[in-house]
Every structure is written in structure tokens, then in C-alpha cells.
Amino acid sequence: MSAPPKYKGKLFLLPCPISEEDFKLVIPEEVVKKAQSFRYFAVEDLKSARRFLRRMDRTFPIDDSTFFILNKKTSVDQLEKMIEPLLNGEDLAIISEAGCPGIADPGAALVDLAHQEEIQIRPLVGPSSILLALMGSGFNGQSFTFHGYLPKERKDRVRAIKDMEFNTLKSEHTNLFMDTPFRNMNVLHDLLNELSDSTMLCIASNITGQNEKIQTKSVVEWREHAYDLGKIPTIFAIGKGQSKKINSKS
Amino acid sequence: MSAPPKYKGKLFLLPCPISEEDFKLVIPEEVVKKAQSFRYFAVEDLKSARRFLRRMDRTFPIDDSTFFILNKKTSVDQLEKMIEPLLNGEDLAIISEAGCPGIADPGAALVDLAHQEEIQIRPLVGPSSILLALMGSGFNGQSFTFHGYLPKERKDRVRAIKDMEFNTLKSEHTNLFMDTPFRNMNVLHDLLNELSDSTMLCIASNITGQNEKIQTKSVVEWREHAYDLGKIPTIFAIGKGQSKKINSKS
């Protein structure tokens, strides 16, 4: 038996674009360079991960690389297989279908297992629609919650929305959430019908894309200006506009 | 009087590095290019903003640019001055001292005011220690809260920490927070003394820096492995490791 390697590999989290835009707008140059060195990958979707690697480097040696599938169906046995190259001194990168691995996307289970093996974790910089929506909302960024997907049942969804509104009114806290694009118009309908006129709502659609729209308006204004969100990736946020908080005079 | 311009300018949120690392690791190439075109800035700190612009472009025309100061003391009158160039068709970029404007940093009040003037908001991609810590934690990224800075009083801080622990045990929710670096060791002391042995804690320090460390361990393990966090920018998270959630067999 050969001796174990002196060093373990590192587990990288490699973000990828969230829109049709050029990756150079959303992935830093040195991250692109780093990505070209990886030969082991844990990917949410094989086809999109390969396409991303080839977009960054037309000569990327796909055929000399190892791809593991990492999604909701992945078992612990399969995760342990992904840990093996790391224990053998090889770096491995997680790539999700869009955006940052581990944020509303697979990745966390493998990271958790890697921590148990004392493998170094290196998240890399890239686009997160949640973070970009929060930055663009004008809402409180000192205290915020991302709630993930809303409940599917209308009754539960309305309660979730109203709980967020109550929380924001009470505490200045920002509440972000999303849904699968085909349910966006149902969500919007509930927001405009169930929230108070003066509640502030941010709708951030097509983030980083050519038709990016990030707008914050009161619910009563949104009722006049709502637009078609069907099939469009969208982040919603309920919060308080932060210009109200500051002094009127210096 | 001249006619008002056909187009309003856009309000950009321009992230900057959070560590001593090269900006090419954390700011995308096209964002750097875009930054070189701006001549109007709202900055948290004049010196660090100028240094950042010169790091990206040694010939950046600092003297031909206009800088507004945007921090906690900024008044509504001053914010309105920053809106003027936007209304006159000029782009303006917000730069905070480190990381993403508007996320645990100034910016949101100006964004809020810009929304009221129907100015287009364009958040750009860059490093966020909160987001990178969450990605690296192995905790739930479908549902999480950032609580900002902990209360200064020990009694209140302990209650805040225990509330987060209870929330995580109850709901799988991830709870992130930070403190000013000089209080980090007090925070760590309280975490290790007040949380249950089996509670999982992520400590992410020096994110994107040369000595970046992102580690998730149980509180009982941390009691053996705690290290000096004094003066080191650190994000803490209490959460549940996500490998426990998945199937043992495929």
C-alpha cells in the first residue's frame, strides 16, 4: 500500500452565471483561472456544468475530468465517493446549476461531510440572486432572512406572506423569498391582494440578465405597475426603505 | 434653461475586496471595466475608495471625479445631492469600505431614495463575507437569517445566542451573525460556554484572505480547537450540518 498523501485536497465552491450574460460580468478573473485547474467536480447538472467549463475555457479537458452528480437524490455513500479524491490530495469543485453552490442549491451536504474530514473549504466569489436583490432593494441589510420557496398551498402561502409583513413592521427586518418561476404570478397575486397598501415590496427579476429589473414600491403602487413574471427567475422582498431612518438635516 | 436629459443615470452598487487579496480574485473583469467608466461616487470612506479605484486602474482620473460621503451620519439633504447627477443622466456608484454596499454596510438609504425617483439600480457582483461563510458552513442555505452585530451587553448577547440555538434546533434554520473584531473573543467565550455540546457552530475568519479559515464543528469540539479571533474579521453561524438530512443509500 502506498503511503497516504501529505496534504488533503481542498473543496472549492465554484459559482456559475445565473443569466445568459457573459461570465466575465459575474465570475472574477482569478476564479476562472482557478477553475481551469480542477479535474474533479461535484455538479448539480452534468450538461450545464460542462457547458460552463467550456465557456470559460474552450479547451477544458472535460474527458480527463471526473464528474459526480450532487443533487437532492444523492446518498451518503455517493457523497463519500466524492470525499475520496479530496482525501487523496486532489481538489474538488462543486458547481450548481446557477449561482452559488449551497445557497438555495445543492452543496451543503458535501461541505458538511468535508468538515467532518477536516478538509479545507474554499467558497469562491460569484453571483447570488438573493444577495444582489438585497443590495438592490434599499431595505435593511443589517438584519435579513431568506425564507427559500414559499409553501405551495395558497392558504399556507398567504400566512407566510402575512407573517413576513408583520415581522418587517415590528422590527425593520428584511424578508426575502422566491418561488419556482411558473408560480410567480400566483405569488404576486397573493402579495398584491393580501399585503397592506403601504407595505414596501421589492421585485427583482432576471438578475444580472439583460432585462434585469429591481424595483421597490409600495403595494398600492405595485397594483398599478405589476408586470408579467411568469417563467422569469424572481426574488421578492418585504422590508422597510432605509431613507426613512436617517436625519433630515446634517 | 436646458431641457432635462432623455435618460436618467443608473445607480450601481460596486463591491470592493474584503481582505488584502488581489481584487482579481473577488471582482469580475467586466465589473472592473465598468468601474473605470464611473465619475460619480458615493463612498463610505474616501481614502479606501480612492485606493480601490487606483488598484483597479493606476491611471484612474480621481481628480476629475466627484465623491460624496455616504455613512451613518449622512442626512437626507446630502442624499438628495447624490441623486442630482443621476437625474442629470450621470451614472453613480456606491462603494463601501469592504464588500457589498448595502449588506451590513451603508448604501440602502441612497438606493431607497433612488427607487422613489425611478432610477435604475444595478448591483454588481463581488465578495460578501456573509454569503461566503454560509456557502462554506455546510449548513442549510434554503432558509437563513443574518442578525448583524450582537448586542453589546453580555446578558443580551447570551439571550440572542440562545434564541438562535433554539431556532436552529426547532427548524433547521441557519443563523449568522458578526461582531466588531475586538469583541470576537467575548462572543466566542459566550458561544462555547452557553451553547449545548452538540450544537454545530461555524467560525469563518479572514474570508478571501490568505489565512482564510472556515470550520464547522460541534461546540464540544470547538472547546478543544478554539483559536485567537481578536482583531480578525469573523462571521459566526449556528446551524445544522446538511449531510444528516440525506438518505444513507441511493
Chain centroid to CA A241: 23
Query: pLDDT tens, B42-63?
Result: 999 999 999 999 999 999 999 9
C-alpha closest to that of A99 among A28, A214, A14: A14
Query: What angle, rounded to 10 degrees, do the helices at A108-116 and B129-137 form?
Result: 70
Mark yes or no for CB contact A74/B217 under 8 Å: no
Mark yes or no for CB contact B26/A28 under 8 Å: yes
Residue B26: list chain A partners with CB under 8 A: 28, 125
Residue A248's pLDDT band, with cuts at 50, 70 and 90, is low
The helix (run of H) or strand (run of E) holding residue A86 is helix A76-87
Those of residues 211-240 in A touching chain B at CB distance below 8 A are: 212, 214-217
Domains and CATH numbers, chain A: 10-123 (3.40.1010.10), 129-242 (3.30.950.10)
Kindly state the cell numbers that stand for B128: 460578501
Mark yes or no for CB contact B28/A24 under 8 Å: yes
pLDDT tens for chain B, 250 residues: list them: 566 667 999 999 999 999 988 899 999 999 999 999 999 999 999 999 999 999 999 999 999 999 999 998 999 999 999 999 999 999 999 999 999 999 988 899 999 999 999 999 999 999 999 999 999 999 999 999 999 999 999 999 999 999 999 999 999 999 999 999 999 999 999 999 999 999 999 999 999 999 999 999 999 999 999 999 999 999 999 999 988 776 655 4
Residue among B115, B126, B131 whose CB faces A100 most closely = B131
> CB distance from A167 to chain B under 8 Å?
no
> CB distance from A37 to chain B under 8 Å?
no
Kindly state the cell numbers that stand for B87: 437625474
Q: Which residue of A has its CA nearest to B114?
A: A138
Mark yes or no for CB contact A109/B245 under 8 Å: yes
Rounded CA gap, B217 and B201, in Å? Answer: 6
Which pLDDT belongs to residue B250?
44
Whether residue A197 has pLDDT greater than 60: yes
Residue A127: list chain B partners with CB under 8 A: 125
Residue A250's pLDDT band, with cuts at 50, 70 and 90, is very low
Residue among A74, A212, A250 whose CB faces B77 most closely = A250
Read off the pLDDT of each residue in A110-122 and give the average, rounded to a whole number.
97
Residues 6+ apart with CB under 8 A from B208: A125, B17, B18, B19, B21, B25, B26, B127, B129, B132
Residue A180: how many other CB atoms lie within 10 Å: 12
Give the phi and the psi of residue B222 in degrees, each rounded to 5. -60, -35
Mark yes or no for CB contact A127/B125 under 8 Å: yes
Query: pLDDT tens, A24-81?
Result: 999 999 999 999 999 999 999 999 999 999 999 999 999 999 999 999 899 999 999 9
Q: Which residue of B has its CA nearest to A79?
A: B243
In order of A50, A53, A104, A249, the CA distances from A59 in angstroms are: 11, 9, 31, 59
Q: Tell me the torsion sign for CA atoms A109, A115, A120, A124.
A: positive
Residue B109: list chain A partners with CB under 8 A: 138, 242-243, 245-246
Mark yes or no for CB contact A141/B115 under 8 Å: no
Q: Which residue of B has its CA nearest to A221?
A: B116
Mark yes or no for CB contact B242/A109 under 8 Å: yes
C-alpha closest to that of A245 among B74, B103, B97: B74
Three-point CA angle B126, A142, B26, nearest 5°: 10
Those of residues 78-137 in A touching chain B at CB distance below 8 A are: 78-79, 100-105, 107-116, 121-123, 125-128, 131-137
C-alpha closest to that of B174 among B216, B228, B227: B216
Residue A1's pLDDT band, with cuts at 50, 70 and 90, is low
Which pLDDT belongs to residue B236?
98
Q: Which residue of B has its CA nearest to A202?
A: B115
In order of A131, A180, A192, B76, B212, the CA distances from A15 in angstroms are: 13, 20, 33, 37, 18
Mark yes or no for CB contact A135/B101 under 8 Å: yes
- The type of residue at A87 is L
Give the phi and the psi of residue A115 in degrees, each rounded to 5. -60, -40
Rounded CA gap, A42 and B243, in Å? Answer: 15
Residue B172: list chain A partners with CB under 8 A: none
